C-alpha cells in the first residue's frame, strides 16, 4: 500500500474515533478545564509551525523566496478580514507574480 | 433543519473552495484523485488534511503526516464531549455516524459549548458542509491533475496563506498567541535539524507554556 493510502486510512479512522469519543462514550461530562485549555492551544501551535515551514522551508534548509511575498499578501488579507478563499487567492497570486518577475 | 441550512449557506462556497484547494494540493503531493476524495469523505477536517498532504508533499514520513493530522483533530474530542448529552438515548451506531458531522462550523453555529446546543441543526449543517467539502475536493483533484509541482501558480504561497488564515481564526486569546509564537519558533529552529514533518509535531511542545497558568 502506498504512503498516501496509509496516511489517508489511518488519519480517517483516527479522526472518526476522536469525533465519536464524546457522543458514543461519555454522557455529557466535561473535561477538566486544564486539559481542555491545553488541547485548545495545540491548533495554534501546529498551524503556526505550518506557516513557518510552508513559507521558509525547502527540504531541510530555510530560504527566503517568492513565498514571503505570498505570506505577506495573505497577512494583509487576514488583517482586512477578507474571507478565507480571498486570503488563499491573494497568497497564491502574489507568490506567482513574485516568482515571475524575480 | 431549514434554519440550519439557512445559517450554513454562506459558508458552503468557502467549504467548496477550500475543498478544491485541498484537492489540488493533494494531487501535487502525489495523492491519487480517489485518495484525495476518500480522505475528505472520512477525515472531513480541513486543516488536518491540508497539513497531512503538505507534510507528505515536502518529503515527510507517514508517521509525521498522520500524527500532525490527528493532533490537529484532537480538538474534536473536547468538542464532542461538550455536546454528548444531546446524543443521549440514541443507538450507538447513530451516535457514531452523527458524530462525524461535527466540524468547527457545525459545532459552533449550532451552539456547541452552550446549553442551547441543537443536535438536528448541527446535523443539517454538517451534512451540507460534507457535500460541499467532498464535492470541492473532487473538483480540485480533477483540476489538479494538470498541476505537477506545488510551486506551479504560486500554490505553495497559497497554502502558506491558508494556514495563516486558519491560524488567525484560532488565536482568540493571549495563551493561544503565545503557543503560536513559540510553535513557529520551534519549527524554524528544527527545520534544518530534523526531517520534514518533525518540526510540526515538535511545535506542539509549545502548549506547555500554558501548563503553569492553565
Domain assignment present for A32: no
Q: Which residue of B has its CA nearest to A67?
A: B157
pLDDT class of B104 with cuts at 50, 70, 90: confident
Which among B12, B22, B32 is positioned nearest to B52, based on CA atoms?
A: B22
**What's the domain range around A87?**
64-102
In a domain, A99, yes or no: yes
pLDDT digit string (tens) for A37-77? Answer: 787 888 899 899 999 999 999 888 999 999 999 999 999 99
Q: Which of B81, B183, B186 sits opposite A22 (nearest CB)?
A: B81
CA–CA gap between residue B136 and residue B11 (Å, rounded): 13
Is 60 exceeded by the pLDDT of residue A91? yes
Q: Which residues of B touch A61 (CB under 8 A)?
A: 191-192
B105 within domain boundaries: yes
Report the run of H or E that residue A15 belongs to, with start and end.
helix A3-20
Say if the Cβ atoms of B192 and A62 lie within 8 Å.
yes
Distance from C-alpha of A24 to C-alpha of B126, rounded to nearest angstrom: 18
- Pairwise CA distance, residues B24 & B10, whole Å: 23
Q: Is residue B107 part of a domain?
A: yes
- Per-residue confidence (pLDDT) for residue A82, from 0 to 100: 92
Contacts of A25 in chain B (CB under 8 A): 84
Tell me which of B12 and B209 has the higher pLDDT: B12
Domains: count for chain A:
1
Number of domains in chain B: 1
Tell me the average pLDDT across B136-151: 82
Burial class (CB in 10 A: 0-12, 13-18, 19+), A79: exposed
Q: What is the pLDDT of residue A28?
A: 53
Question: Does A47 contact B182 at a Cβ distance shorter than 8 Å?
Answer: no
The answer to whether residue A19 is domain-embedded is no
Residue A90 lies in a domain: yes
**What residue in B sits closest to A90 (Cα-Cα)?**
B158
Confirm whether A58 is domain-assigned.
Answer: no
Task: Encode B141-209 in three state secondary structure.
Answer: HHHHHHCCCCCHHHHHHHHHHHHHHHHHHHCCCHHHHHHHHHHHHHHHHHCCCCCCCHHHHHHHHHHHH
Question: For residue range B14-59, what is the model confidence (pLDDT) as tens digits?
Answer: 889 889 989 998 998 999 999 999 999 999 998 899 999 999 998 9
pLDDT band at A1 (very low <50, low <70, confident <90, very high): confident
Residue B65 within any structural domain of the chain: yes
Task: Give residue B145's pLDDT.
Answer: 74
Q: How close does chain B come to A70, measured CA to CA in Å?
A: 5
Q: State the smallest CA–CA distance between residue B214 and chain A in angstroms.
A: 5
Quick check: is B118 in a domain? yes
In a domain, residue A54? The reply is no
> What local confidence, expressed as pLDDT, does residue B213 receive?
54
B102 phi, psi to nearest 5 deg: -75, 115
Neighbours of B166 (CB within 10 A): 24
B106 pLDDT above the threshold of 70: yes
Question: CA angle B143-B145-B147, nearest 5°?
Answer: 90
List, in order, residues 6 or more apart from A32 with CB less than 8 Å away: none
pLDDT of A27 reads 58
**Contact at 8 Å (CB) between B181 and A48?**
yes
Q: Say what the pTM is.
A: 0.83
Query: Does A15 contact B42 at a Cβ distance shorter than 8 Å?
Result: yes
Q: ipTM higher than 0.95?
A: no
Mean pLDDT of B3-7: 83
Region A15-38 average pLDDT: 81
Predicted confidence (pLDDT) per residue in B58-78, tens digit: 899 999 999 999 998 988 888
Q: What is the mean pLDDT of chain B?
A: 89
Average pLDDT over residues B134-148: 87
User: Which DSSP letter does residue A61 get?
Assistant: E
Average of per-residue pLDDT across B150-154: 74
Provide the pLDDT confidence category of residue B214 given band limits of 50, 70 and 90. Answer: very low
Give, as one character, the DSSP assignment of residue A62. Answer: E
Q: Which domain holds residue B100?
A: 2-149
pLDDT: which is higher, A77 or B79: A77
Asked if pLDDT for residue B185 goes beyond 80, the answer is yes
Tell me whether residue A38 is in a domain.
no
pLDDT, residue B211, reads: 66
pLDDT confidence of residue B40: 98
Amino acid at each position: 500500500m502506498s504512503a498516501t493510502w496509509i496516511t489517508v486510512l489511518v488519519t480517517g479512522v483516527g479522526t472518526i474515533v476522536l469525533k465519536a469519543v464524546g457522543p458514543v462514550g461519555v454522557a455529557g461530562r466535561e473535561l477538566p478545564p486544564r486539559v481542555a485549555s491545553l488541547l485548545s492551544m495545540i491548533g495554534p501551535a501546529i498551524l503556526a509551525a505550518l506557516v513557518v515551514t510552508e513559507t521558509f522551508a525547502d527540504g531541510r534548509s530555510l530560504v527566503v523566496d517568492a513565498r514571503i511575498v505570498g505570506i505577506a499578501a495573505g497577512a494583509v488579507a487576514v488583517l482586512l478580514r477578507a474571507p478565507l478563499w480571498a486570503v488563499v487567492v491573494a497568497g497564491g497570486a502574489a507568490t506567482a507574480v513574485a516568482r515571475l518577475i524575480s | 433543519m431549514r434554519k440550519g441550512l439557512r445559517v450554513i449557506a454562506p459558508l458552503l462556497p468557502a467549504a467548496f473552495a477550500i475543498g478544491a484547494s485541498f484537492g489540488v494540493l493533494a494531487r501535487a503531493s502525489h495523492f491519487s484523485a480517489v485518495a484525495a476524495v476518500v480522505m475528505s469523505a472520512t477525515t472531513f477536517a480541513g486543516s488536518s488534511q491540508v497539513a497531512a498532504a503538505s507534510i507528505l508533499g515536502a518529503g515527510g514520513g507517514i508517521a509525521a503526516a498522520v500524527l500532525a493530522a490527528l493532533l490537529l483533530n484532537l480538538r474534536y474530542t473536547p468538542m464532542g464531549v461538550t455536546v454528548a448529552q444531546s446524543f443521549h438515548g440514541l443507538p450507538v451506531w447513530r451516535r457514531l455516524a452523527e458524530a462525524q458531522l461535527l466540524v468547527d462550523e457545525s459545532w459552533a453555529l449550532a451552539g456547541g459549548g452552550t446549553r442551547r446546543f441543537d443536535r438536528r441543526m448541527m446535523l443539517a449543517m454538517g451534512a451540507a458542509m460534507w457535500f460541499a467539502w467532498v464535492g470541492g475536493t473532487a473538483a480540485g483533484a480533477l483540476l489538479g491533475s494538470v498541476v505537477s509541482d506545488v510551486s506551479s501558480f504560486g500554490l505553495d504561497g497559497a497554502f502558506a496563506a491558508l494556514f495563516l488564515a486558519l491560524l488567525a481564526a484560532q488565536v482568540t486569546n493571549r495563551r493561544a498567541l503565545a503557543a503560536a509564537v513559540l510553535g513557529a519558533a520551534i519549527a524554524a529552529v528544527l527545520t534544518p535539524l530534523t526531517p520534514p514533518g518533525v518540526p510540526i509535531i515538535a511545535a506542539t511542545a509549545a502548549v506547555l507554556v500554558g501548563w503553569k497558568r492553565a
